[in-house]
């Protein structure tokens, strides 16, 4: 994997292995900050969070931030950062009725100013069927636009399917 570029975007479907793959970048660099966007609001999500924490171990400092990714990135310092996951963050900002275009542009601007390397994980949600309701279609469309914008500025983009990485850029 070598040295970490300024920005790596890791895409994949649900349970594709993208988080574990992204974690391996930071672990190879000696550890870093795990910037978690999930909110464990029910028992199932609490279990998912615990599974991720157990898998990570002691190399990580966890910061939980469901909405203000830009603020969390600005206060990090020099440690490599893993943001997991952007589509959860997107759903959080949609639920909070925030301006998605503004938030995405602010995130991209902040990432470009980060001193530390950043690895971002996002779901690729546009490969399945067209959702049957307007909110889900809007989410899919917003996620696709967000992923495209981040991929355009990323130094490395990797798509993970069935635990297997495909380097798309970098």
* pLDDT tens, residue by residue, 103-162: 999 999 999 999 999 999 999 998 888 999 999 999 999 999 999 999 999 999 999 999
Q: What is the pLDDT of residue 1?
A: 46
- 143 belongs to the catalytic site: no
- Give the pLDDT band of residue 59 (cuts 50, 70, 90): confident
Crossing angle of helices 18-28 and 43-56, in 10° steps, is 30
- Catalytic-role residue among 9, 12, 26, 52: 52
- What domains are there in the chain, each with its CATH number? 7-169 (3.40.50.300)
| pTM of the predicted model as reported, rounded to 2 decimal places | 0.92
């Amino acid at each position: 994997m070598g040295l970490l570029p300024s920005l790596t975007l890791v895409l994949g479907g649900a349970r594709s292995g993208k988080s574990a793959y992204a974690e391996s970048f930071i672990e190879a660099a000696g550890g870093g900050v795990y910037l978690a966007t999930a909110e464990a609001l029910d028992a199932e999500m609490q279990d998912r969070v615990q599974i991720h924490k157990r898998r990570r171990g002691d190399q990580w400092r966890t910061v939980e931030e469901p909405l203000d990714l830009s603020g969390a990135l600005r206060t990090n310092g020099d440690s490599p950062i893993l943001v997991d996951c952007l589509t959860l963050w997107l759903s959080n900002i949609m639920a909070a009725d925030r301006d998605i275009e503004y938030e995405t542009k602010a995130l991209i601007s902040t990432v470009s100013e980060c001193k530390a390397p950043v690895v971002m994980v996002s779901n690729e949600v546009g490969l399945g069927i067209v959702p049957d309701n307007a909110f889900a279609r809007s989410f899919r469309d917003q996620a696709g636009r967000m992923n495209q914008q981040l991929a355009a500025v990323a130094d490395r983009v990797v798509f993970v399917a069935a635990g297997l990485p495909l380097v798309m850029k970098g």
